[in-house]
Amino acid sequence: MGRRVDLLGRNKLPSDISTHNTLLKNKTWRVSENMDYFNYQGDSLYAEEVAVSDIAEQFGTPCFIYSRSTLERHYRAYAKALADHAHLICFAVKANSNLAVLNVLAKLGAGFDIVSGGELDRVLAAGGEASKVIFSGLGKTTAEIRQGLAAGIHCFNVESEAELNRLNEVALDEGTIAPISVRVNPDVDAGTHPYISTGLKENKFGISTNLALEVYKKAAAMPGIKIEGIDFHIGSQLTSVDPFLDAIDRLLVMVDQLTKEGIFLRHFDIGGGLGITYGDEEPPHPSELIAVVKEKFVGRDMTILVEPGRSIAANAGIFVTRVEYLKSNEHKNFAIVDGAMNDLLRPALYSAWQEIIPVERSTDESASFDVVGPICESADFLGKDRELSISAGALLAVRSAGAYGFVMSSNYNTRPRATEIMVDGPKVTVIRERENVTDLFANEHLLAE
Please state, in angstroms and rounded to a whole number, the distance separating the CA atoms of residues 201 and 275: 22
**For residue 181, which of 144, 233, 143, 124 has the smallest C-alpha distance?**
233
In the complex, minimum distance from the CB of residue 201 to ligand LLP, in angstroms, rounded to a whole number: 17
Cα–Cα distances in Å, from 12 out to 8, 26, 45, 192? 11, 20, 11, 36
CB of 236 or CB of 321, closer to ligand LLP: 236
Residue 196 as a binder of ligand LLP (CB under 6 A): the answer is yes
CB of 139 or CB of 426, closer to ligand LLP: 139
CB of 14 or CB of 405, closer to ligand LLP: 405
Please state, in angstroms and rounded to a whole number, the distance separating the CA atoms of residues 12 and 4: 12
Residue 321 as a binder of ligand LLP (CB under 6 A): the answer is no
User: Among residues 132, 154, 267, 346, which is the contact residue for ligand LLP, using CB under 6 A?
Assistant: 346
Helix and strand totals (H; E) in the chain: 13, 21
User: Among residues 67, 236, 277, 342, which is the contact residue for ligand LLP, using CB under 6 A?
Assistant: 236
User: Among residues 404, 417, 418, 432, which is the contact residue for ligand LLP, using CB under 6 A?
Assistant: 404
Instruction: Decide: helix, strand or coil at residue 350.
Output: helix
Cα–Cα distances in Å, from 24 out to 27, 247, 279? 8, 34, 11
User: Among residues 95, 105, 225, 248, which is the contact residue for ligand LLP, using CB under 6 A?
Assistant: 95
In the complex, minimum distance from the CB of residue 444 to ligand LLP, in angstroms, rounded to a whole number: 28
User: Among residues 56, 82, 89, 92, which is the contact residue for ligand LLP, using CB under 6 A?
Assistant: 92
Q: Terminus-to-terminus CA distance in the chain, angstroms?
A: 53
CB of 44 or CB of 136, closer to ligand LLP: 136
Secondary-structure percent of the chain, ordered helix, strand, coil, rounded to 5 = 35, 25, 40
CB of 67 or CB of 311, closer to ligand LLP: 311
Residue 401 as a binder of ligand LLP (CB under 6 A): the answer is no
Which of 63, 90, 155, 376 is labelled catalytic? 376
**For residue 269, which of 257, 283, 255 has the smallest C-alpha distance?**
255
String marking each residue 354-383 x if it binds ligand LLP according to CB under 6 A: ------------------------------
Q: Is 178 exposed, middle or buried (0-12, 13-18, 19+ CB in 10 A)?
A: buried
Please state, in angstroms and rounded to a whole number, the distance separating the CA atoms of residues 29 and 19: 10
User: Among residues 18, 67, 136, 354, which is the contact residue for ligand LLP, using CB under 6 A?
Assistant: 136
Residue 233 as a binder of ligand LLP (CB under 6 A): the answer is yes
Told to judge if 376 belongs to the known catalytic residues of this protein, a careful annotator would answer yes
Restricted to residues 259-318, the positions that interact with ligand LLP (CB under 6 A) are 271-274, 307-311
Please state, in angstroms and rounded to a whole number, the distance separating the CA atoms of residues 46 and 65: 10
For residue 206, count other CB atoms closer than 10 A to its CB.
27
In the complex, minimum distance from the CB of residue 115 to ligand LLP, in angstroms, rounded to a whole number: 7
CB of 401 or CB of 421, closer to ligand LLP: 401
Cβ–Cβ < 8 Å for 179, 228? yes
Q: Residue 337: which residues within 8 A CB-CB, separation 6 or more?
A: 62, 321, 322, 323, 324, 371, 372, 373, 382, 396
CB of 95 or CB of 390, closer to ligand LLP: 95
String marking each residue 10-49 x if it binds ligand LLP according to CB under 6 A: ----------------------------------------
Residue 386 as a binder of ligand LLP (CB under 6 A): the answer is no
- The residues that are catalytic are 376
For ligand LLP, the binding residues (CB under 6 A) are 92, 95, 113, 136, 196, 233, 236-237, 271-274, 307-311, 346, 403-404
